[in-house]
Each structure stands twice: as C-alpha cells, then as structure tokens.
Amino acid sequence: MWAGAFSSHSLFSEWHAAELEVLRKQTAHMPPEDIVSDEDYWSVIQQAYTVNPSIINLNNGGVSPSPRIVQEAVERFNKLSNEGPSYFMWRILDQGREPLRQKLADLAGCDPEEIAVNRNSTEALNTVIFGIDLKSGDEVIGTRQDYPNMINAWKQRQQREGIKYTQISLDLPVEDDDTIVNAFERAITPKTKVLHITHVINWMGQILLGQKNMCNGKKIRTENHS
C-alpha cells in the first residue's frame, strides 16, 4: 500500500536518471582527463543541483548542497511524517531502514551489520574516534591540517583519558607521496596505536595519500605499534 512512499520520483528525476545513463555509456571508455574538460557532461551534472547560478560555491565540505532528487525526497517524507508522526515514522518509514542498510552493504561489499547510518561524516568519524579502545599513554598521530572537529575529538579524549595526541605539520601542497609517508613514519613511537590519515584536506583539496601508496607502494611500518 505504501510502496509509493519509497519509490515515487518526479518527472525531472526520471529524465535526469535517463540522461545520466546516456552519459555513463558515452564516457565509459573515456580517460578521466577528457571527461574533466567535457562541458556537455558537466552541464548534465549541474542540472542535478538547484544552486544559485549567480553564486560560485567553493565550499563543498560540511555545507555541500544536496542534489535536487535528495531535496525532493526530504520534502516528500517530511510531509508524509507530519500527516501522522508516530504512525508514519514507526510503522511506515522504519520499514525502509533495514532494506537501506542491505543496499548500502551490497554497494560496499560488506555485511549489513557493519553498516551504520549517520547524519554526516563528522558524526560518523566521531563515533569511530570515541569508540576505539585506547588507554592512558596510547598515542594517536594526526596532522594540524585535519578537519577541526576531528582534532577536537582527539583532544577531548586526551584531556579525559590521558591518551597522547600528536600532530605533525605538513608543508602543503605536496606532490611527492613519500614525503607525506615519511612524515608519519618519523612520528611513530612504540606507543603509537592510531594513525589518523585524512584522504583529502578540506582546506585546499590536497590528496594526502594516493592509491599507489595506500595499497601497493611504500608501507608505513606499524607492525609493533598497532
């Protein structure tokens, strides 16, 4: 009866999904550098958002705009919830929680029990930071360029529990991955338990460690410290 509450889409969404599928097929064999400069491709992506065309939005960190389809879904479910809050929230909308976790698990290639749905990245990282089993004297290594809320979370654990939070300072931008790896490696001590490594620095877009060094390149030696 209420399947429509979870599956209804606007005509725009259906059109845009079809356009994206066409784009996907057209660009499937294109090198990334060609896609980056393809204005036709990005014009379709642009249509997914409702940002003011007279404003250049350079902040896509904690205040990134939601796609049009997400805005429509939020508005639709908000209206539905207000028609009968306790009924629709617990008896109807809650039915979509576990199927959502299953779909996310399929996407991530993991078990649904390993998936936790959070409101944002800050909440997710704080859940991890405060959930790691550390004792007084254990050391965490991060950088001064990490996201402020993550820095504050580690400092809070330092003040409350007596862990040692060490920050290295990177002279960014850096094009050589080994320079970054070596900076972390030099900071490691026998008490190091966690390396907090930010993939992309939000202040400037620096990719901290590339795929090569994360997986197949030089490895930070932490066998005796983790």
List, for residues 152-164, the tens digit of each pLDDT value: 999 999 999 999 9
d(CA 191, CA 2): 55
Contact 165, 140 (CB under 8 A): yes
Residue 111's H or E segment, with its range, is none
d(CA 35, CA 25): 12
* Residue with more model confidence, 74 or 203: 74
Contact 129, 123 (CB under 8 A): no
Contact 120, 149 (CB under 8 A): no
Tens-place pLDDT, residues 105-116: 999 999 999 999
d(CA 129, CA 142): 12
* Residue with more model confidence, 165 or 11: 165
Q: What is the CATH number of domain 121-216?
A: 3.40.640.10
Looking at 34-43, 135-144, 145-154, which range is the least confident one?
A: 34-43
**What are the C-alpha distances in Å from 182 to residues 35, 206, 209?**
33, 17, 11
d(CA 205, CA 212): 18
pLDDT band, very low/low/confident/very high, at 64 (cuts 50, 70, 90) = confident
The predicted structure's pLDDT at residue 222: 36
Domain boundaries for CATH 3.40.640.10 within the chain: 121-216
* Maximum average pLDDT range among 65-69, 102-106, 177-181: 102-106
d(CA 92, CA 11): 24
d(CA 200, CA 198): 6
